[in-house]
């Protein structure tokens, strides 16, 4: 069937998918996320089995967040300045190298060729490399998404992009947990590496994305322009800040290995189900959002969604039943998905083309690493006050963040999508 070139009608739920490059982007992101999620759930459970330390789970997030935050702005600068396809090839190669290294070191430790005491530190180092790659991955993919479909399809594209990501996060933990539980870490990492190779092949299917912006000023002036743009935009800054603090305090997902192993006693299979249930709530909600957009009153709906997210975390911490816990993990994922769609659409609409890499880098500093920092916060507070009290504390703090944000941004609540537009003035 001939590729459709004209802009599809806005009412077409599949409008964004009619563009070939967008489909390649979706496929690449899907398989990469699937492998990444499998790796995350397996590494978390594996390290907890070795160390029996909640703080060790927190260090996983910290090892990834430190490089991701430290060089995020530089990653955005590079993403704006260089061709995106080549950049993604380099990024995926680093992630594949890290995954192959973890696979090799765990295999040798089982064969007693490497002392078990070296396994966890080496895994942390490879996670650090993943954090370096992530500093460039977010800005590069953000820019590719923006150029793969027309601007009027950003809300539809954001829904499909987020849905495919969430489907991968459903399948990843479930597949990873089941294979790890039944067959061990070696077969699991074989599948992870195959999926990473598939995503690398799909990068080759993308067309080239030459830079829109060639900086003439110094790197520091260029980065400052990106930071200042975000700080001047009240809605963008508010959305980033709200997500940062809610995810920071609501990082209960990092403690799921403890709940699975010690509290609910459901093992690695149960861990995979819990991780998948949160993502199931997210993807079903996102699919519903393809027909019922939350963008009619974006700021009001964002506040409602984060409130629901905080309540779900709080109730999950109070639950003593595996099945009731699944219900609240489902609603946590559902509310989180609404906030992801709203924030992602606002980011695309409010960012000029020549600044997408740098603005995405600022966004990744606020949000992209908030999950990892939140994971460290959860592990640290769990070590201090216990697992359940730390989750309850996180849920309460999330609700406090929403309340403060509501009081400071009440003037944004009546804002409609029509009032949000991409800046036309060129800012470098």
| CATH number of domain containing 282 | 1.20.1250.20
Q: What is the pLDDT of residue 367?
A: 63
In a domain, 69, yes or no: yes
Q: What is the pLDDT of residues 349-395, one digit of tens each?
A: 777 766 766 777 677 666 655 666 676 777 778 878 888 888 898 88
| pLDDT tier, 72 (very low <50, low <70, confident <90, very high otherwise) | confident
In a domain, 3, yes or no: no
Q: What is the pLDDT of residue 365?
A: 65
Q: Report the SS3 class of residue 374.
A: helix
Mean residue pLDDT across the chain: 80
DSSP, residue by residue, 262-279: IIS--HHHHHHHHHHHHH
In a domain, 5, yes or no: no
Q: What is the pLDDT of residue 139?
A: 80
pTM for this prediction:
0.65
Q: What is the pLDDT of residues 4-39, one digit of tens each?
A: 444 444 467 788 888 888 888 999 999 999 998 899
In a domain, 7, yes or no: no
Boundaries of domain holding 144: 16-417
In a domain, 197, yes or no: yes
Say which residue, 358 or 137, is predicted with more confidence.
137
* Res 251 pLDDT > 80: no
Helix axis angle for 234-249 and 387-408, nearest 10°, is: 160
In a domain, 180, yes or no: yes
What is the Cα–Cα distance from 46 to 122, expressed in whole angstroms? Answer: 13
- Nearest alpha carbon to residue 162 among 179, 145, 174, 148: 145
Ramachandran category for residue 6: left, alpha or beta (phi over 0 → left; psi -120 to 50 → alpha): beta
What is the Cα–Cα distance from 210 to 19, expressed in whole angstroms? Answer: 19
What is the Cα–Cα distance from 228 to 299, expressed in whole angstroms? Answer: 22
Cβ neighbours around 231 below 10 Å, total: 11
Q: What is the pLDDT of residues 311-354, one digit of tens each?
A: 999 999 898 899 999 999 999 988 988 887 888 777 777 777 66
What is the Cα–Cα distance from 409 to 260, expressed in whole angstroms? Answer: 39
What is the Cα–Cα distance from 151 to 157, expressed in whole angstroms? Answer: 9
In a domain, 199, yes or no: yes
* Domain count of the fold of the chain: 1
- Can you say how many angstroms the Cα of residue 273 is from the centroid of all Cα atoms in its chain? 19
Quote the percentage of the chain above a pLDDT of 70. 84
What is the Cα–Cα distance from 131 to 272, expressed in whole angstroms? Answer: 23
Q: What is the pLDDT of residue 214?
A: 65
Q: What is the pLDDT of residue 34?
A: 92
In a domain, 9, yes or no: no
């Amino acid at each position: 069937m001939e590729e459709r070139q004209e802009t599809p009608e806005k009412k077409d739920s599949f409008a964004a998918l009619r563009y070939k490059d967008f489909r390649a982007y979706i496929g690449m992101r899907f398989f990469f996320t699937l492998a990444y999620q499998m790796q995350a759930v397996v590494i978390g459970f594996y390290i907890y089995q070795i160390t029996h330390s909640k703080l060790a789970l927190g260090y996983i997030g910290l090892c990834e967040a430190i490089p991701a935050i430290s060089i995020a702005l530089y990653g955005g600068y590079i993403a704006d300045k260089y061709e995106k396809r080549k950049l993604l090839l380099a990024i995926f190669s680093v992630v594949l190298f890290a995954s192959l290294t973890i696979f090799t070191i765990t295999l040798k430790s089982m064969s007693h060729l490497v002392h078990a005491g070296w396994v966890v530190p080496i895994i942390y180092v490879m996670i650090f490399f993943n954090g370096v790659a992530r500093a460039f991955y977010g800005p590069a993919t953000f820019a590719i998404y923006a150029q793969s479909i027309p601007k009027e399809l950003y809300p539809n594209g954001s829904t499909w992009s987020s849905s495919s990501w969430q489907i991968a996060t459903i399948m990843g933990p479930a597949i990873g947990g089941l294979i790890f539980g039944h067959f061990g870490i070696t077969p699991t990492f074989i599948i992870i590496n195959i999926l990473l190779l598939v995503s690398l092949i799909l990068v080759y299917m993308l067309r080239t994305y030459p830079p829109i912006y060639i900086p003439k000023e110094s790197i520091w002036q260029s980065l400052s322009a990106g930071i200042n743009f975000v700080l001047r935009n009240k809605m963008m800054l508010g959305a980033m800040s709200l997500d940062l603090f809610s995810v920071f305090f609501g990082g209960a997902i990092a403690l799921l290995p403890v709940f699975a192993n010690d509290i609910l006693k459901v093992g690695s299979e149960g861990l995979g189900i819990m991780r998948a249930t949160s993502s199931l709530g997210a993807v079903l909600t996102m699919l519903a959002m393809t027909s019922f957009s939350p963008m009619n009153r974006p700021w009001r709906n964002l506040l409602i969604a984060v409130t629901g997210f905080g309540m779900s975390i709080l109730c999950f911490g109070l639950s003593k039943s595996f099945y009731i816990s699944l219900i609240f993990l489902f609603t946590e994922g559902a509310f989180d998905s609404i906030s992801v769609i709203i924030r992602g659409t606002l980011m695309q609409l409010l960012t000029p083309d020549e600044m997408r890499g740098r603005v995405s880098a600022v966004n990744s500093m606020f949000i992209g690493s908030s999950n990892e920092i939140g994971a460290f916060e959860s592990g640290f507070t769990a070590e201090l006050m216990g697992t359940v009290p730390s989750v309850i504390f996180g849920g309460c703090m999330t609700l406090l963040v929403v309340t403060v944000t509501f009081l400071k941004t009440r003037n944004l609540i009546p804002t409609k999508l029509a009032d949000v537009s991409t800046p036309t003035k060129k800012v470098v």
